[in-house]
């Protein structure tokens, strides 16, 4: 043996540093319960300049009280933080950078803050590590982005730190574990602290993983991101939904699936109990879902279409409904739902037949992005759901149905369907020559263009014109021609050769509504199982309690 020549090394530097910080705030806490009014002061001791800090910041719920407190620390004491946020959603998330407390950001999604991120990036106030999917951001917490501090939100905690998240479990377990088991510090804000552990409805995260809980001044902010008002579903959405049901779901026997957010997919959900029923498809398609609890799925559930729904997150107003449907939703011993974004993204990647979603821009090869000039939105979960997972080995009928050869070494494919109207509202084409993302990538000095879903992963493009079965393309040229044939009067669409269209229809490379037995005249709002939020409430037997902004009736 060649003995090591290095000096004796300490192997518990993280643990010692954690103990030092915990000791420094002991006077500001009663055991694991931090005093809310002293929170900014406590954070000045618990967070150290240069730390990697995870702030939840996930798709729906927000650790907003902790975010506000962190903006109040003195940048002379705490600065250069490297923030890791699944979702950058609140103004406070970016105030951290403007106030000189944080300097670097790794994230997965930024909705309303996407414009300001772009601006701060250009000003040099903020440096972006990378854009991620949710699941790869969690993954890095266990590899090269080990956090020093993790700030999360829950419903309730007891005085030992046991945490009850209720339906909004979401990202919390994946974020907490990365710190709890690597000598990081975990702080949870909760709406309520209970004295008796027996008053916790259930434990979602054990107290031995949590260092501090703090009672917030008001319940954590949660946004109903996945509620679509059926009033806004237009006949074109219904036509496209009919095509999806006949030309994709029925044709490939899609049993398990994920829907993106949008009126197109909401229309599919609302057509299952009507159009789907007419076609005799109940029990044959769309049985197992990985999906947020979309209110527009209520009629399909009530009509017996849905065996199971595993949820990424919770949806405001759906708490009582999901709790009353435990055969369908995942619920705990207390009766309320448990969501889990890490496991649901995993299930949506590896265990479902189909992902269908929309995009803001798609090029002639099917590459798409929601990143447009001046906005750095990130990707959320789309690239994870919207690709063919080469690590999958189990077959399903839909997956096998996409094989185009008799090579015994062939494998199936996940169905990745892009469902887009050829034009956005306001007459900007959706299908474009070149993605804005290419320019944005260059302008922001990114190593690669921020593409959401790559064309080579897309198996179907569905527009109001028809469906291009891209997985059948035998060459890149054919792929382009197929996509152009359903691209309407966009610049890409105008380029297509009408003579080719007839041949491609005959060969089954593309299909127009009439080719799949879809009657355009039937595509009216009368086909929707529910035409308003109010009708969704009726379907739910009053269990769905829509947020105020949707109570327009």
C-beta of 420 vs 536, nearer to a copy of itself? 536
Of these, 2, 76, 406, 477, which contacts a copy of itself (CB under 8 A)?
2
Contact call for residue 499 and a copy of itself (CB under 8 A): no
Which DSSP helix (H) or strand (E) runs through 356? Answer: strand 354-357
Of these, 312, 471, 539, 550, which contacts a copy of itself (CB under 8 A)?
539
Site for a copy of itself in 370-389 (CB under 8 A): 379, 383-389
Contact call for residue 275 and a copy of itself (CB under 8 A): no
Segment interacting with a copy of itself (CB under 8 A) among 62-70, 94-102, 391-399, 500-508: 391-399
Site for a copy of itself in 226-265 (CB under 8 A): 255-256
Distance CA 286, CA 139 (A): 30
Distance CA 441, CA 118 (A): 11
Site for a copy of itself in 49-68 (CB under 8 A): none
C-beta of 299 vs 546, nearer to a copy of itself? 299
C-beta of 111 vs 201, nearer to a copy of itself? 201
Distance CA 104, CA 88 (A): 13
User: Rounded to a whole number, what is the largest CA-CA distance in the chain?
Assistant: 82
Taking the CA atoms of residue 239, residue 244, residue 245 and residue 248 in that order, the dihedral angle to the nearest 10 degrees is: 150
Question: Please, what is the minimum distance in Å from the beta carbon of residue 243 to a copy of itself?
Answer: 22
Return the DSSP state at 544. -
Question: Please, what is the minimum distance in Å from the beta carbon of residue 529 to a copy of itself?
Answer: 6
C-beta of 442 vs 495, nearer to a copy of itself? 442
Q: Are 93 and 71 within 8 A, CB to CB?
A: no
Q: Are 484 and 496 within 8 A, CB to CB?
A: yes
Question: Please, what is the minimum distance in Å from the beta carbon of residue 427 to a copy of itself?
Answer: 26
C-beta of 185 vs 511, nearer to a copy of itself? 185
Distance CA 315, CA 60 (A): 8
Neighbours of 4 (CB within 10 A): 8
C-beta of 288 vs 500, nearer to a copy of itself? 288
Site for a copy of itself in 82-111 (CB under 8 A): 106
How many angstroms from the chain centroid is the CA of residue 61?
Answer: 12
Q: Are 108 and 380 within 8 A, CB to CB?
A: yes
Site for a copy of itself in 284-343 (CB under 8 A): 287-288, 290, 299, 302-304, 308, 310, 324-328, 330-334, 338, 340, 342-343
Of the candidates 385, 360, 395, the residue with the CA atom closest to the CA atom of residue 292: 385
Distance CA 512, CA 469 (A): 11
Q: Could you report how far apart the first and last alpha carbons of the chain are, in Å?
A: 80
Distance CA 252, CA 245 (A): 10
C-beta of 161 vs 429, nearer to a copy of itself? 161
Question: Please, what is the minimum distance in Å from the beta carbon of residue 25 to a copy of itself?
Answer: 17
Burial annotation 342-378 (CB, 10 A radius, 16+ → b, else e): bbbbebbbeebbbbbbbbbbbbbbbbbbbbbeebbbb
Distance CA 54, CA 68 (A): 14
Of these, 32, 57, 154, 273, which contacts a copy of itself (CB under 8 A)?
273
Segment interacting with a copy of itself (CB under 8 A) among 90-98, 125-133, 236-244, 507-515: 125-133
Question: Please, what is the minimum distance in Å from the beta carbon of residue 6 to a copy of itself?
Answer: 6
Q: Coil, helix or strand for 261?
A: coil
Q: Are 401 and 415 within 8 A, CB to CB?
A: no
Of the candidates 203, 187, 231, 171, the residue with the CA atom closest to the CA atom of residue 69: 187
Question: Please, what is the minimum distance in Å from the beta carbon of residue 216 to a copy of itself?
Answer: 23
Contact call for residue 406 and a copy of itself (CB under 8 A): no
Distance CA 351, CA 396 (A): 9
Segment interacting with a copy of itself (CB under 8 A) among 46-54, 218-226, 470-478, 526-534: 526-534
C-beta of 304 vs 491, nearer to a copy of itself? 304
Q: Are 384 and 457 within 8 A, CB to CB?
A: no
Of these, 56, 204, 421, 464, which contacts a copy of itself (CB under 8 A)?
204
Q: How many residues bind a copy of itself (CB under 8 A)?
A: 113
C-beta of 70 vs 145, nearer to a copy of itself? 145
Site for a copy of itself in 13-42 (CB under 8 A): 13-15
Contact call for residue 212 and a copy of itself (CB under 8 A): no
Contact call for residue 474 and a copy of itself (CB under 8 A): no
Contact call for residue 546 and a copy of itself (CB under 8 A): no
HEC string for 27-59 = HHEECCEECHHHHHHHHHHHCCCCCEEEECECC
Return the DSSP state at 213. E
Question: Please, what is the minimum distance in Å from the beta carbon of residue 428 to a copy of itself?
Answer: 21
Of these, 22, 36, 320, 351, which contacts a copy of itself (CB under 8 A)?
351
Q: Are 338 and 414 within 8 A, CB to CB?
A: no
Question: Please, what is the minimum distance in Å from the beta carbon of residue 407 to a copy of itself?
Answer: 9
C-beta of 1 vs 548, nearer to a copy of itself? 1
């Amino acid at each position: 043996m060649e003995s090591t020549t290095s000096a004796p090394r300490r192997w518990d530097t993280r643990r010692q540093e954690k103990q030092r910080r915990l000791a420094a705030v002991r006077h500001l806490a009663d055991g694991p319960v931090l005093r809310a009014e002293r929170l900014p002061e406590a954070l000045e001791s618990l967070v150290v300049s240069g730390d990697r800090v995870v702030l939840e910041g996930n798709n729906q719920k927000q650790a907003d009280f902790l975010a506000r407190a962190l903006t109040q620390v003195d940048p002379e004491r705490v600065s250069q933080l490297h923030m890791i946020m699944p979702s950058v959603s609140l103004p406070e998330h970016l105030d951290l950078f403007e106030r000189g407390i944080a300097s670097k950001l790794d994230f997965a999604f930024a909705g309303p803050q996407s414009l300001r991120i772009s601006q701060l990036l250009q000003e040099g106030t903020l440096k972006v590590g990378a854009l991620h999917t949710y699941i790869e951001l969690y993954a890095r917490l266990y590899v090269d982005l080990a956090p020093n501090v993790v700030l999360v939100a829950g419903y309730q905690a007891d005085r030992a730190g046991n945490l009850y998240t209720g339906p909004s479990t979401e990202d919390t377990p994946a974020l907490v574990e990365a710190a709890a088991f690597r000598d990081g510090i975990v702080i949870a804000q909760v709406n309520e602290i209970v004295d008796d552990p027996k008053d916790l409805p259930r434990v979602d995260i054990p107290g031995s993983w949590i260092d501090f809980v703090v009672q917030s001044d008001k319940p954590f902010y949660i946004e109903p991101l996945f509620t679509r008002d059926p009033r806004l579903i237009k006949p074109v959405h219904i036509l496209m939904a009919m095509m999806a049901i006949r030309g994709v779901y029925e044709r490939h026997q899609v049993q398990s699936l994920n829907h993106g957010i949008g009126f197109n997919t909401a229309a599919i959900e609302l057509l299952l109990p009507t159009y789907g029923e007419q076609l005799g498809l109940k029990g044959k398609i769309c049985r197992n879902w990985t999906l947020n609890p979309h209110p527009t799925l209520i009629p399909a559930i009530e009509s017996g279409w849905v065996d199971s729904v595993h949820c990424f997150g919770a949806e405001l107003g759906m708490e009582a409904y999901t709790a009353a449907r435990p055969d369908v939703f995942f619920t705990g011993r207390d009766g309320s739902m448990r969501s889990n974004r890490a496991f649901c993204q995993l299930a949506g990647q590896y265990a479902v037949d189909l992902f269908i979603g929309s995009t803001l821009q798609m090029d002639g090869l099917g590459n798409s992005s929601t990143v447009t000039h001046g906005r750095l939105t990130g990707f959320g979960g789309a690239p994870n759901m919207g690709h063919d997972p080469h690590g999958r080995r189990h077959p399903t009928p839909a997956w096998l149905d996409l094989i185009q050869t008799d090579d015994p070494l062939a494998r199936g494919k996940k169905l990745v369907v892009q469902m887009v109207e050829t034009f956005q509202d306001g007459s900007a084409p959706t299908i474009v020559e070149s993605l804005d993302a290419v320019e944005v990538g260059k302008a922001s000095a990114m190593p690669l263009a921020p593409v959401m879903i790559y064309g080579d992963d897309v198996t179907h493009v569905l527009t109001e014109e028809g469906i291009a079965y891209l997985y059948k393309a035998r060459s890149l040229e054919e792929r382009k021609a197929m996509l152009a044939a359903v691209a309407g009067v966009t610049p890409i669409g105008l380029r297509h050769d009408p003579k080719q269209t007839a041949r491609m229809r005959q060969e089954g490379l593309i299909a127009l509504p009439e080719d799949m037995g879809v009657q355009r005249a039937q595509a009216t709002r009368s086909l929707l199982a529910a035409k308003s939020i109010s009708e969704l409430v009726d379907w739910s037997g009053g269990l769905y309690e829509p947020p105020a902004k949707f109570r327009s009736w």
